[in-house]
């Protein structure tokens, strides 16, 4: 037991508040950026561009947005993309699931390389977001076309 545990109590007794819709969407997209074990500069730029264009974030102050991203990065660092998805996906509103999937594909394609971890991440995302397979294939095709050249 550490000195902090003596003073603050056992940290495992603290329950972390669940993600809201903003954290859910951003969490899935951050997971897409990090699913191959590193976050490329192109993926960060794509993530920030996507989030900056979404109405979901239009009323967030810069400080609130930064705090949200810090919380998401903390979850990513502690548990990896899998833990981040575990917390983020339930918070994604049903009407944004295909949007999140399309944007996750866009982020994975941002650096021009899709490796096996990224392919598995996208396949897992289809299942966990409950997106129809044919619909998912069409979304992937469009994102591939978008990112060519």
* Residue the block writes with tokens 């944004």: 96
**How does pLDDT run across 99-134, given as a tens digit for each residue?**
999 999 999 998 888 999 999 999 999 999 999 999
Q: Tell me whether residue 76 is in a domain.
A: yes
Alpha-carbon distance 91 to 21, whole Å?
Answer: 5
Range of the domain at 135: 20-146
Q: Tell me whether residue 36 is in a domain.
A: yes
Q: Tell me whether residue 44 is in a domain.
A: yes
Ranges in the chain, pLDDT < 70? 1-3, 5-15
pLDDT at 24: 98
By the 8 A CB rule, do 57 and 132 touch?
no
Q: Tell me whether residue 40 is in a domain.
A: yes
Q: Tell me whether residue 14 is in a domain.
A: no
Report the CATH number that the domain containing residue 76 is assigned in CATH.
Answer: 1.10.3680.10
CA dihedral 135, 124, 73, 53 (to 10 degrees): 0
pLDDT at 13: 44
Q: Tell me whether residue 87 is in a domain.
A: yes
State how many domains the chain has.
Answer: 1
Alpha-carbon distance 27 to 73, whole Å?
Answer: 9
Q: How many residues does the chain have?
A: 149
Q: Tell me whether residue 2 is in a domain.
A: no
């Amino acid at each position: 037991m550490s000195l902090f545990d003596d003073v603050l109590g056992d940290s495992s007794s603290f329950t972390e508040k669940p993600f809201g819709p903003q954290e859910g969407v951003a969490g899935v997209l951050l997971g897409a950026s990090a699913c191959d074990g590193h976050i490329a500069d192109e993926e960060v730029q794509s993530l920030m561009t996507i989030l900056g264009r979404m109405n979901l974030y239009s009323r967030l102050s810069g400080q609130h947005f930064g705090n949200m991203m810090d919380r998401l990065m903390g979850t990513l660092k502690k548990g990896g993309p899998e833990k981040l998805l575990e917390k983020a996906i339930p918070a994604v509103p049903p009407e944004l699931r295909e949007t999140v999937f399309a944007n996750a594909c866009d982020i994975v394609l941002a650096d021009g390389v899709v490796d096996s971890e990224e392919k598995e991440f996208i396949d897992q995302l289809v299942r966990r977001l409950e997106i129809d397979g044919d619909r998912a294939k069409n979304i992937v095709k469009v994102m591939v076309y978008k990112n060519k050249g």
